[in-house]
A and B are shown apart, each in its own frame.
Chain A
């Protein structure tokens, strides 16, 4: 197990090195900071998406749904748009991206507690109902978002534009420092919870008998997930199937259920997928295809496969 993790670390290191150095034609003083910020953002997105997805699958006890399939990031974009819409109306000359990010993140945390905490627990055994709810909820949020965006001032629109659709080439670097701090705190907390999450994954009844009442832990994890989704959506926009893809690969490679191995391996695989994929797209395919399209295509196929397998069972 440890060897597989080290192999992933080596692979990620290789991807990062190539990403930083391959085809650099400008002076290093420019190339390194320029590519470094993008690299940092990709890694942050990888950690937050994989960690959020893994914890979400643990508390909902299924391997098919992810926060983005349930419409978490669509809700974030909607809340962000509303925040900018409201603040812009109050004559803020310059809307600070950090402030709007924080407002939208807090709003997402509250909204997801309200919307999802009961449903995730009552309907979790009904996979079809969960999938349908997610699709309808996501569509609702996206429609409301585009409605608001049509009415808003073009300058304000620029603030929400990055978060509105997935893009890895233009990353919101203003938020990078803030996002890094938040992600490290949340990941540290998730890591602390790893043994308790293992127990929770055994099922509610078993978790109770082992002295881990699920309710409070589930709520805490839901808050952590909402924060992580805010971070990744703010940086690169909604990436629908990335989380599902990397967590499924992590389960395949580690072949365990323990979060001690799943957390790092999912994060490493997400890093390899994003950095390696971006490397190929930028240097080999000359940006002809956006990375998000490829990830969503492969991830979507994985989703369909898991769904068909899960429904047949």
Chain B
């Protein structure tokens, strides 16, 4: 479980997060939703130690962020940053190999190679494995990145807006892969998404944020309702119910 207690954060004197308390349970997909500037990415970056925590604590199981060993945490939790700037000369396989770095620090064993192979298969990029990243499309590159953090074999995987720049087909493929990763491999996935409908359809839990606070949390059907659209997103889009879930008509 990821336990967030009294987490506050400001950038340049401007409060981004104020007094966040939340528990992200183990297993399943948790979606962080909210309008732009709600502090979703900052929250994710603080959990993943990409930013230094100013006030409050975050525990990942028994490890406290900022206190525990970096290597140990890297075997427990991985993140896909919003815009990773990888050198494009690498091949997909070389990139995925880096996912094993926290375990072997440069000398991969047979078990490490097996993990890399598995990650490439799970993400369905076998045919791209030997191509260099610069020849791939945005969606393919995204899957290569996720294969890397899958190879890292952590309990928790955090993804910061992985659907940005993906078309409909790309988003669906990626979400179905994440669903499978969570269901079949028991990973806990925390994902920042803009599209409420994606959260409604694929997530097990939704955490809605607004103005640096958590507005609502719970299962998609509990959280996504007319009040959420009105109060959190401040718009009056219509909701319709399909297959036991709610879809926003934008």
- Which stretch, B17-25, B26-34, B97-105, touches the partner chain A? B97-105
Query: Among the listed A201, A205, A213, which residue makes an inter-chain contact with B70, where contact means beta carbons less than 8 Å apart?
Result: A213
A255 within 8 A of B: yes
A210 within 8 A of B: yes
In Å, the complex CA distance between A309 and B49 comes to 34
In Å, the complex CA distance between A206 and B87 comes to 11
In Å, the complex CA distance between A294 and B216 comes to 68
- Which stretch, B78-86, B122-130, B173-181, B204-212, touches the partner chain A? B78-86
Chain B residues with CB below 8 A from A194, complex form: 106
Query: What's the minimum C-beta distance from B154 to chain A, rounded to whole angstroms?
Result: 9
Residue of B with least CB distance to A254: B89
Within A191-216, the residues touching B (CB, 8 Å) are 194-196, 198-199, 201-203, 205-206, 208-213
Residue of B with least CB distance to A204: B50
In Å, the complex CA distance between A311 and B223 comes to 47
Contact assessment for B101 and A201 in the assembled complex, using a CB-CB cutoff below 8 Å: no
Contact assessment for B49 and A208 in the assembled complex, using a CB-CB cutoff below 8 Å: yes
B198 within 8 A of A: no
A133 within 8 A of B: no
Given A195-B105, A199-B98, A202-B98, answer yes or no on A209-B74 (Cβ-Cβ < 8 Å). Answer: yes
Residue of B with least CB distance to A210: B101
Residue of A with least CB distance to B77: A209
Within B23-48, the residues touching A (CB, 8 Å) are 48
A positions within 8 Å CB-CB of B? 61, 194-196, 198-199, 201-203, 205-206, 208-213, 255-258
Q: List 22 A-B contacts (CB under 8 A).
A: A61-B85, A202-B98, A203-B86, A205-B84, A206-B84, A206-B98, A208-B70, A208-B79, A209-B48, A210-B98, A210-B99, A210-B152, A211-B71, A211-B72, A211-B73, A211-B101, A211-B102, A212-B101, A255-B89, A256-B89, A257-B87, A257-B90
